Structures are given as C-alpha cells and as structure tokens.
Structure 1
C-alpha cells in the first residue's frame, strides 16, 4: 500500500470516528420497548386520575440510604419514581447540535406542576427550599434487559448503560473533569462498538458516574431503579444447570449495581422497585439494601395505589356515583394481610380515560345534533317561503350542503 493510499484510509477512518462521536442519535436496539412512550408525571397530574402522593418525597429522603420496595405492578410504582426524579433532580439545560447548552429560562418553583396544582408537598416550604432540584438523579429501568441468551444480555446491558450516560451528556462540558476523565466519558457516551466494551469497563461506569456528578455539582446523587428484579426472573423454575449458567450471566449486572450503590459515598439515597425479593445469590454483596414489602407496610401503602375513599372521590368527579358499586368491582385490586383493599392506579387511570372519551363523544354528538336542528329549521323556513313568497322572507338559518357548526349557513 502506498503512503498516499495509507493517508487516505487513515483520514477516512478518522472522519468516521468524528461523525460517530458527534452523533446525537441513541443506539438502535431493534426493540420497540426501548422507545415506548411513557406518560410524564406532569401530564398525569393534570388528569382526573391522579391522587396526590407527594408526601412520599419527604418520607423517602428521611429513610435509610438504600431501599428496595416490593410491590405488585400497576400501583403507580413507576409514576412515583418519576415524581421523585421530577422533584429532586437538578435542572439540566439541554444541549444543542453542537453540544452546547441551549439558552432556556430556568423553571421557577411557582411554574412547577407541584405548585400549580398545590400538591401536598407545597405545605412544607422549608423542605421544598432544601431539596427541590438539589440532586443529580440517575434513573434506570431493568425491564428491557434480555436474559434469553448471553449475546442478548451482552447487548442489552450495554445499551442500558449507554442510555444512562446519554442522560448526563452535560458532563462533556464540565470543567471539573480532567482531560483523562473527559476522554473516558466520551468512550462511555459514544461506544465505538459493543464488542469493545468488556464487562469490567461497563461495571466501572457504575462507580464513575456518581463520582463525576459529584465533582460537577459538589452534590451526591439519588439513584432510582425500576423493575429491579426483572432480570432475575430467568432463575424462576430454572434447573440446577440453567441456574448456574444464569447466575454467571447476571454477574456483570450484579457488579454494576454494587459499584453504583453499595458503599458508594457519592450516592445520597436510592430506591429500587420490584415485585419479589431477588435471589440471595445475587444480593449477597448488597447487605445494605433494606427490603420493604408494600402490602405489609401501613406506612408505605398510602403512597401507592388507591384506597376505597380515593376511588370514590375520583368517581364523584365524573358524576358516576350511581354506578359506584360496578365501577369498584371492575378495578384491579389487592388485599393486604390486614384485609384492606388497595386499588390499581393503572386500572383507575384507564377508567378515567374511558370516561373522558365518553364525555368527548357525547359533546361531539350534541354539537352534531345542534347543527342538524339548525338545518331542519332552515329547510322548514325555506318551504314556508316558497308557499308564500310575497309575505314570508327566506330564513337566514337555511343550511347549504357542507355547512358546519362554526359556519352552519
């Protein structure tokens, strides 16, 4: 190969690397779940289905550092994780195409959905002043980790961590990071190839991100993990041989969580959500985790799902009290050891959406009926006008073809 050809090849390779490094695209996973739409906390608060759970914010920050909440699905677990993130997370200015902070007016306390809707947490202004938007937050969802094969898990955990670094893209502009740390950040942020990311490299990211966030903000982080137990479902009903293989498969994820949370002085608090306690083989190094079953905790239950009184309050807003018994029977519910009923927040939300759709359709039908009545009145007037043209003036309400409610005639 000639020297000229070699230079061209190297230049081309450099150009590809530059394009990749400056790409703001998220990795393509081939899995629609990575991009599934999620209803933001602010939007949910504005619906009639939201019951104020903001007292959880004060409870969370007052507890031990690392808590695992065990709760059935559809009780508002993810919604509360998003609420915690929304309240505590420092506001980050989004980056433009050149990875520079966009000029954006910071949101004031009075503009937040917490204040606009006068949610319960607003009653303690001192708490809000001390904690609102004061922490960097690391949010992860383990539900999309694929444990079917080693290759699938290899790819999914690397995509998970790549998304994690994307959420903190502003660190590329941090003056607190050394040149070496900056170069390492870019390797995490723009992995040149999944095969080039060994397990120990990915695992170390769990330790480094809270450290760099602390250097940037001089503030410890809050870590939120949704569906914490999802990857361990592969151990259910596994044979002894399969169990051994799956435990080996899950080891990098276990090490990642240990680096991220356990013994990490740069993590302030963490809340992990799951349905069942993780196999002890996976958590033997996570001795500081405190497991709390939701349905057994009278202290925690008010923060998740709907009580009977709360369901009735929502139904009354829709003027459907005549059907209260049938509505409550149709909702998904769970019984506590003490006999109390906890109603699914998800099914309550679905019911509210269905009722709003009914009201919308009724309103549309009423508008259409009004137009039809106006048209009928116009035709009758026209008939009378034809019978006595000398004495009856044509009605102004006569409707031409294509008339609408806004322009009926």
Structure 2
C-alpha cells in the first residue's frame, strides 16, 4: 500500500471512529425548546394579585427553591431559569400568560400554575402544543386524564376524593346529620360538592339541606354564613379557599353557630386561616392533610422540616413559616427536581412527562410519614393518600390511619 493510500485509510478510519463516538455523544443529549447544555427554562403562572393573592407565596417559595438548586450547581449542570407571571386569577389573563411563556419565552414546560378554572382555560392549548402542564396547583379531578390530556398532570390529592372521605366520616360519626355546604362557584367548589354527594350516596338528597355558592370576587361571605345558620344544620362542609375559610370560621363564632365544621384541605394553614379567624373560634374543625404542619411542635426535630427551615434561612428569610403553603411549594419543587434529575440529558418534553409518570414510592421531607408519591402512564395523580385531623389548641391533631383517597377509605 502506498503512503498516500495508507494516509487515506487512516483518515477514513478516524472519520468512522469520530462519527461513531460523535453520534454516541449526540445521542446522549436531547433537547426541546427551553433546554440547553446550560439551562432549563420553566414557566409558571400565579395569582400574585387579585382575590387569591395569598397563594402567591407558592410561586415565591418555588423561585427561592430554584435559587437554591442553582447555587448548588444546578440540575445535571444546568441552571433553572424560572419565569413566573401574575394572572390575578383571571382565566383570560392565564391564557395570555401561557401563550407568552410558550411562544415568546419558549419555556420547556409550565409548572405549578395555580387554580382550577385558570388551568382549565389553558389545558387544551397546552395539550395541542404538546407542552407539559406539570403538577398544576389544584386538586381537580380533571388533571388525572392521561388518555385525553397526556400533557397535563396534577400533584395534590383529588378534591372529589377528599370530599368522599369527609362524607364517609359524617356517615360514621353523625349518621342523622343535617348538612350545609358552602362552595366556591367554579370547578374547585363543584368538585367538592360532587364528591360529597357521591360519598353520601342515596342519603345525599335528604341530609344536605343547604347549598350556597360564592364567587371569589365577593369581598365577604358573611351573608352566606348567616343564611346557613337559619336552616338549623349540625354539619357545615366548607369548600372554600383560605381567605374565605377564615371569614367563615370567624363569622360562625360571631353569630354563635357551632356545627361540626369540615374544612377543605387547601384551607388548613394555621398562620393564614386559623390564627386570622381566631384560634378559639377554630376549635374542633375537621379536615385532612398530606403535608406536615410547620406550626406543629412534633416536627421540631424532624429531619425533613429541619432541612425546610435551613432552606428558608438561606433563600427565603421573609417567608411566613406558619403558612402551610410554603411547605407545600417546597415539596412540589422537590418533586420537580426529582423528575428533572431523572431526565438526565434527555430534556425533551416527552421525556419530562415520561419521568413524571414513572415515580415510585417517592418520599419527601415535607410529606406526612407514610405518604408516598406514585405515578404511572395510566395514573397521573401523584398523591392519593391523606390523614384526617382535628384542630385542637393551637395546632392540628392527626387521627386514624393513612387513608387512600382513591377509594375514600
């Protein structure tokens, strides 16, 4: 073989080797819009203003958690670029912000946007665009529908299932109860009402003697509380968001109405609901939980809550540590971190959903002991377990066993 032939043969071999190694390296990294070697761009929509602005702390906590991740080197070497917009809890504004995030900011996905009616307004758009609408901050039943909406996934327990648990509790503890229901006039409240009626079964029509709906634009729900007292009920199912739950507790105490008060699990924060309403007025309220109450002294030396407090000390010092929403947001952000680390170098939207739908017995520091996160390709409900609790003294006392909300006990 001549010198030139040998050089050509060696060069050809080098090309083949480079192509093999190069294609292998290329295969290890896959990106969709919003992800690069150095960045993962995540969108978020929160009601930082408007009637549900108390929930804005969720977005602020998540932003702080991503600052923590970035300070510690990012996820697989990539920094999180968290872009969060205000929608004032207005569906048209939610649509506008979602389009901005997807089409202008070009995020990889939208994470933890808050509200049932607001997320419903963008669900079809997100699925048509095949952009993940991941871990939405609402417990509506519609988020667990992978067959029809494979790009949408919830996180917290289902509202309907939670209400079914309360129905079973009422049937056991007060079988002859007369029930009044106050619910938010949207999918959130209607899910609770449906779950309650499903759980009560044939008795629903006779035991529910009052149904009152309110709109989030109402400044106060006092008139609804006064009206429900007049029908002489002994159980009050309160499917409201935090601001209105505090009003309900306070007004009921003011007018001397003392039914068994069952609160929605989204409105159990001691710092945001119980204390503003009045600790004494809140005594005996019933609800359920899946995350740890930061005001409960039993978690003082808990490893998970110690880590939460250390995180706040360093990245979110202004946080209200009595607000359960701060623990909630921290725990959801940890769930996302787990999913993104599992994605490795395949940061495609399809793989994000694949990994989110492949969590097995994930335990996180903010969840109650025994509560585990599980998902599959046919089950987009990460958390389906809760534990009943009663407000006593200055905190919630849990009782009974961990209940699988999917079956309502």
TM-score, normalised relative to structure 2: 0.26
Q: Identify the structure with the greater helix proportion.
A: 1
User: Which structure has more RCO (C-alpha within 8 Å, separation ≥ 6)?
Assistant: 1
TM-score, normalised relative to structure 1: 0.26
Q: Identify the structure with the greater strand proportion.
A: 2
